[in-house]
Structure 1
């Protein structure tokens, strides 16, 4: 049985919350006094995360495939039964298939869009009414990608799903904003996660370095801080916005390596 104090504590729902950026976001909310519900399709990793967090009064871990409507509805019911309120939803769950367009099957396409786009739609459809039921409104933050605004090779399904997610956010912001739910989307650049370490080759890292003015990958903590801000009262008049959290990657055109080389030559001559 929750105490009255616990009932007054805000609740954030994070999909894909068992690891990586999702877990980092959950930890940010926990550090800032919120309770969290973690939804993830990877049951073993989810259970391990639940054990490692060791906060049974503050954390609810739910095995859920966000592309399955019935499963999402069941998860929403479980969150309401446990916490009795929802204040924020972070649609972070995502998958990627890295193949040339000609080798991307329709099954690949549907798998990626089913999770990245359908999942955000279904979860917002399920959890937004719970925010309104509490009479407080709330915030939705969708996690897109810099691939939503800059085309990259081998990402036809992933990039398209994330671009569609950006527009979905704007649609949500207009209609749900009218009811007191703010909806925004962030577009992370490359982030230093365990997954990135596995799939980003030395060549890919070099390509990113050549295109990012800050010259490095982002951190999970930087993504979490941004999401936390957008869900906080400090962002109370921010709605329907895309924020690239990418070290300047989206802003950059050609010539950055040449600029750096020229600067190095000038430094060497002094």
Structure 2
């Protein structure tokens, strides 16, 4: 009761008859009676009842024909049954969110998306604000330890412009990035398994970025997405659209 617990429905469990079983497995694994928030992890549905990434002979993930709208309608029943207090979406684009809103009797409470200065998502954030959908920013530090990173990839944490702003406040680049998300009104979820960094990530409430700082950081936008999933062949792949 002292913490807010979120989990997600994976792509191989989109079929309506699998949704309740999926959340019950999550609750059992966590030793809980309910979640605070349950999200559809991605709009793409994958072939059910097999591997989490069901690759076909062509080396591509095999899509399922399930419509995420039908999945969402089943998610609403989880709220009615008390298995989760709220529901939402993750990695959906504007058109996909609009389709959900057209049929929803319980509006999505949250959209969780990749957000950082290289991908500031301002248009999608503005759209969600119009519909009173809160935003959670994942990968706010640019996911520097992602397994698929290439040696020559630009590292957000090494950007000298961000470091210069941090030096003004006596803060690390990571703290500037977390504060940037907070000052934009976002929920921010930096990942760390190192105790000192976890503590450092919390020490961001003794300073505030100026409007000029935020404008400068926002100017770093370059559509630098690092979590793209890669299944561009899927009919519901969300990142073909501008936002």
Query: Fold match, TM over 0.5?
Result: no
TM (normalized to structure 2)? Answer: 0.37
TM (normalized to structure 1)? Answer: 0.34
